Structure formats: structure tokens, C-alpha cells
Structure 1
Amino acid sequence: MTSDNEQCPADTGVSRQAEEWFALLLDEGATANDRAEFRAWLQRSPEHVAAYSELERLWLGAAALPEVMPNPSLTRRKVLKSGGALVVLAAAGLGSAIYLRSAAADYRTGVGETARFTLPDGSIVELSTATAISLDFTTNQRRVVLREGEAFFIVAPDASRPFVVACKQLRSTALGTQFSVGMQENDIVVAVTEHTVRVSSPTEEQDVREGQSVIFANDRLSVPVMMDVDAQLSWRGGKLVFISTPFEDVVATLSRWRRGKMIVMDRTLSRRPVSIIVDVRRAGRILENLENGLPIRIASYSPWLTLIYPQ
């Protein structure tokens, strides 16, 4: 997105500028430069922060309105070029799509929740925050669809019925095992804690062994690599463990455990590696944990928008 003078004529006002930024940042094609310019726009005036915060509030509220149906032909870029009222309407439709997708699930958790369920075949599933799965179990197959979030599976043996987890284009077939499948922004991560999982994309296949993980990103499947199992799946014990993790990645992960948006306002800070343990069973104190454990300053303008600065 270009500067305010180029992109947002003066007579459109702060509200329209906020709407255009909101629509742009919803777009999966938003670039790092877009996000940097957005941070600069927020810093220019408290009015900018207040206007964007109100859109965040409307967006999160829209997710609870299942009667609002999205227009499948309306892309986010088209929304960006349209009027302000349409931006808010599109946000309601997109939020509704998320609601309907998880509402169709057989098992789900809300933001900040985890849960453990026994499936009809005796397998165990543990759901992380904001997670939804659907089941398709028949006499010859056991298929789980991960719709949102992350799930950990302890698979009951049944040689006659493969256990498969489908997540978008990816298929993970258990070979008598324990493993997790998680959606992280535009990526899918499969991590194995016991035995082996065969992970297949439309063009590739990898056998992922105990202690390894793979990432599916940009339509490519990575080579399996060794991982820190305790850190990657620490949410199962009610904590999130970050070891030398870029701060922007820490914030992105923690954002899944609380409502509202957290934005790192300093580029150097966003890239800084940090090590911290956060107790997600006390989701309401995530911001307090960050401020106590790191040299940062947090400004919460509403329950919906939090800005993070270096101290």
C-alpha cells in the first residue's frame, strides 16, 4: 500500500483509511512492506489507532453472526477498492465463513481453550486453541478433517482402517503413531512423537519419523527435520515454550490464544530472538507475562487492539 497522500485522499477521512488498511491486511497477499507502512500509519496519530481498533471490534463480533453469508465471488482485493461500508460488510461475511466452517465440525475449542476427546475408534485427540475437526469414519477408513487450529492424535491400532488427517491439500497417514497437525498462518506443520507418519501433498510424499516434523508451505513439502518435541507441543501441558524465537513469531502464536490483535510496532524488535515460557491456562494474563519477561512496552487501546513497543 502506498503513502496516505497517494492511496487515501484527504476528504476520505481517518475511518476510510482504516477500512482500506483493514481490507489490505486481511488479504493473504499482504507483504512485509505493507505491514511496515501500516505500523507507520498507526504511529502517526491516536485517531488512527482508535479507528482501526473499532474495525477489529466489528470484525471479531461478526464471527458470531452465522446468518450473514459471504459472497464467494468477492475477493479481498476487490473489497479494498470498494466503498467503506462494503469493507465492514465483507468483514462480517468473512467472519461468518470462519464461524460456519467451525460450526460444521464434530469437535471444537474456542479461543484460549484446549480439550481432549475419545474418538469412536478409541483414538484420542487433543485440540489446541481455536481448533475444529470433523470425522468421516466408515467400515474401511478413519478420516479426520482439520478445519482450523492444531490437533494432537494418539491413534488406536486398526490395520484394516487407515487413520488419515486431511488438512487443506495435505494428507497425513498414521503408521501406528502419535502426531500433531497444525495450521500456522499459511503453513501446515506435522510433528511426530511416536513411530511414523506418511505425509502426502498433491506432488510429494515424505515419511516423517519419531522426533521429526515437516512444513507444507507455498505448495511444497519440506524435508523432515529433528525438532524439540517438548517445546513444539508444550501447549498440551498448558504452556507455550519459545526458545530463541523471533519475537514476531511469538506474538503471532500468542495471538491465537487471546481475542484481539497484537502488533509489534518496531521492526528490530519484531526480529529479535527471545526465550520465554507463557502459561496459556491464564490467557487473560498473556500481556502481563510478556511485559514482565521482556524489555517491551505494551499499549492496549481496547480489548481488540494492542501495540507493542521496545522499552
Structure 2
Amino acid sequence: MNTRGRQIDSITEAAIDWLVRLDSGSASADDHTAFTAWLNADPRHQHAWQTISGLLDQPVAVLKEAEAQLPGQRRAARLALTSPERRKVLRNGTVALLLIGLGSYTLNRQLPLIALIADLHTATGERRQVRLADGSTLILNARSAVDIEFSAKNRLLTLREGEILVRTAPDPSRPLIVQTEHGQARALGTRFAVRRQDDHSELTVLEHRVQLTIANGVPQTFDAGASARFSAAGIQPLTEPAAPRAAWIDGQLDVRDRPLGEVIDALRPYKRGYLRISSQAAALRVFGVFPLDDPEAALLALVETQPIAIRRYGALVTLIKHRNEIE
């Protein structure tokens, strides 16, 4: 398809703005309501949204070809979509540039962008087990990325995205450390998991002990069965048992009195597209075991047990609300 020279009309531009807003992570319940109203107001709006969603599904080969022809444009287009000046850029740009930028969004939904330069990574819905050079075993959850740096003195795993579980091979002369931007988890002969979030990371200790250290903080040691949340603000022990938190390695989401918002967070790496939940629905408490490898079945089970309603717009947008919010 020849996309050169085609200008973006106002409806398509509005669809792009909705995409950026809904994917920002800060969209409110009112934003979702306004989006639904906009989508249903005119068949042309639905057509534009489906078109943009289709552009989001471009294969990686297209992105590589575009980047080869226009080096640096993929990153420039993606920045343009999220910058305050994106309206001006989009009005003056071409659909070819949009394709590159939106393709980057799709790539990031299927495969975290940071994974393109990470030593190991997984895509949406993929788990991966790797045996490291020292004999340790590393399991990556879906949409995860990690860098590996082994030296004569240390074994360092830098978690860039997602979650990993490590079965540590003994090596008294070289400690094994999992590092995120929020701190370091040092293995003391153990099996443990680390999950990286935007504003914090989480530790789950399954065997033996792990020493947790944050910047300007006193190291704390956690025994098997314990878990903790850590960030620059400090280290907070969690009350939930460790075993359910690591059930993802068997393809299960074991939930014991957790907010529905956290359950949806755990499902996102296994589902393509945009999965959003209102703040009222996110506060609901959930118990149950759900299949990670079949996120649609998990969502249906949640509908049967929780006062929520799910609305889908095409294959790529799923909105979850409390039933009280549905008119």
C-alpha cells in the first residue's frame, strides 16, 4: 500500500489522540466514558479507530524496513506521538511517518521496546526458560527483558522490564545479583523472583534467603516464603505468601485477596492490545486461580464472579468498568 503524501484528517487525528491518551497509563474513568461516547457518536469514528488499530498491527519486518530506509525516524515518530507538539507534527506529516510511529507502539505492545537491545527477552504471552553460563536457571515471564553481565567477581542480571525467576547455581566467589532501577536483590543460595514496575519493584523468595538493598538504605534479608516491595522510598514487606506470587511459572495467576487492578496488571503481558480498567472496578477484591495463557477465559471468569462489565472495541481495545458505572 502506498501511503506517501496522504495527509491525516481530523477524525483520524482524534483517533490517534485517543490512542495516546488511553495508552498513557493516566487515563481516568471520565476519559474512558468520553472515549466511548466519541466512538459511538459517528460510524466514521469507529472506522478511523479500526484503521489506527490496524496500523498498530504492522509486522516487525515492516518496521525494520522502514528504519533501514529512514534511520532514526521510528524513534522520532514515536516521540512525536507523545510530545505536546504531536498535533502539529501529525498535521504536517504523512501517513508513512505515522505508520512507523504506530508500528513502534504495536511492537512495544507485542515486545517491549527495551527488549530490542536486551540480552534476553520475551514477547506478549511468552514465557522462556534459559540456562545461564554459570549453571543457574532463569525463567522470564511474558513481556520481560533482562541484561546479563558475568565477570570474575560478580554475576549481574539487570531486569529492564517484566519479571524473572532465578534458580541460583552455587558460586561462593561470585554473588548473583538481580538489579532494577529500584534496588538490588542478592542471592544467598536461593530461588527467588523479581518483578519490575514503573515506580517500584517486588521480591519473592521461594528458597533460602535474599538480601535486598536500595540506594542510601540499610540492607534487609528476607527468608523463604517472604516477599517485599522496594523503591527509593524504602522496603515494604508484603503479607501475601510467596508461592502464589510465583504461580506464573506454571501459567497460573493465583489471586488471594488482591485488588482487581493488580489482577488486570498481571494479565496485560499475556493479552494483545489495550486493556484498561476504571478506578472503581480496580478497587474490587479478588480471590481465585486464573489461566494466564488464556486471558480471555480469565476475563470471562472475572465477569462471572465480580460486578464488572467488559466492553470491546475491535480486537485491540478492552475496557473494564464496575456495573455501577454502566448507564
1:185-206 CA distances to partner (integer Å, 9 max, x unpaired)?
Answer: 4331122122222222332243
Larger CA deviation: 124-133 vs 194-203: 194-203
User: 1:171 is matched with which residue?
Assistant: 184
Residue 4 of structure 1: aligned partner: none
Is the Cα–Cα contact under 8 Å of residues 275 and 319 in structure 2 kept in the other structure? Answer: yes
1:121 Cα deviation from its structure 2 partner: 0.6
In 2, Cα distance between equivalents of 1:206 and 1:52: 50
Deviation at 1:140, TM superposition (A): 2.1
The alpha-carbon deviation at position 51 of structure 1 amounts to 4.5
Q: More deviation in 86-95 or 129-138?
A: 86-95
CA separation of 1:53 and 1:143: change in aligned 2, threshold 3 A: farther
Q: Does 1:136 align with 2:124?
A: no
In the TM superposition, residue 236 of structure 1 has moved relative to its aligned partner by 1.6
Label 1:202 to 1:300 Cα distance change in 2 as closer, same or farther (>3 A): same
Residues 114 and 73 of structure 1, relative CA distance in 2, 3 Å threshold: closer
Match of 1:37 in 2: 30
Q: What displacement does 1:138 show?
A: 2.1
Q: Which piece of structure 1 moves more, 244-253 or 84-93?
A: 84-93
What is the aligned length?
A: 294
Specify the alignment match of 1:162 in structure 2: 175
Alignment of 1:1-311 (within 5 A): 13-27=10-24, 30=26, 34-44=27-37, 45-46=39-40, 47=42, 51-52=48-49, 54-59=51-56, 61=58, 65-66=63-64, 67=67, 69-71=74-76, 74=79, 76-80=82-86, 82-84=88-90, 88=98, 90-93=101-104, 101-210=114-223, 211-217=225-231, 219-265=232-278, 267-283=279-295, 285-310=297-322
SS of residue paired to 1:222? strand
Q: String of CA shifts for 1:29-84, please: whole Å, max 9, x gaps.
A: x3xxx422311212314256665565455345477624354149948343555443
Stretch of structure 1 that moved more, 137-146 or 166-175: 166-175
Residue aligned with 2:19, SS: helix
User: Aligned partners of 2:60, 2:30: CA distance in 1, in Å?
Assistant: 27
Code of the residue aligned with 1:182 in structure 2: it is: R
Greater mean deviation of Cα atoms: 231-240 or 68-77: 68-77
Larger mean Cα displacement after TM superposition, 246-255 or 85-94? 85-94
Following TM superposition, by how much is the alpha carbon of 1:163 offset from its aligned partner in structure 2, in angstroms? 0.6
User: What is the CA distance between 1:172 and its match in structure 2?
Assistant: 1.8
Report the alpha carbon displacement of residue 145 of structure 1 after superposing the two structures with TM.
1.7
Q: Is the 8 A contact 2:253 2:292 kept in 1?
A: yes
TM-score computed with the length of structure 2 as normaliser: 0.76
Which residue type is aligned with residue 15 of structure 2?
Answer: A
Alpha-carbon contact 1:63-1:99 (below 8 Å) kept:
no
Deviates more, 1:15-24 or 1:63-72: 63-72
TM-score (norm 1): 0.80
Q: Name whichever of 91-100 and 106-115 sits farther off.
A: 91-100
1:8 is aligned to none
- The 2-side partners of 1:257 and 1:160 are apart by 38
Distance in structure 2 (CA, Å) of the matches to 1:120 and 1:17: 50
Q: Any idea what the Cα deviations from partners look like across 1:213-268, whole Å, max 9, x if unmatched? A: 22234x32223344311221111222101222222222222111111112235x43
Q: Cα gap change, 1:18/1:119 in structure 2, threshold over 3 Å: closer, same or farther?
A: same
SS at match of 2:75: coil
Q: CA separation in 1, counterparts of 2:32 and 2:166?
A: 39
Contact 2:290 2:298 in 1 (8 A): yes
Whether the aligned pair in 2 keeps the contact of 1:264 and 1:308 (CA below 8 Å) is yes
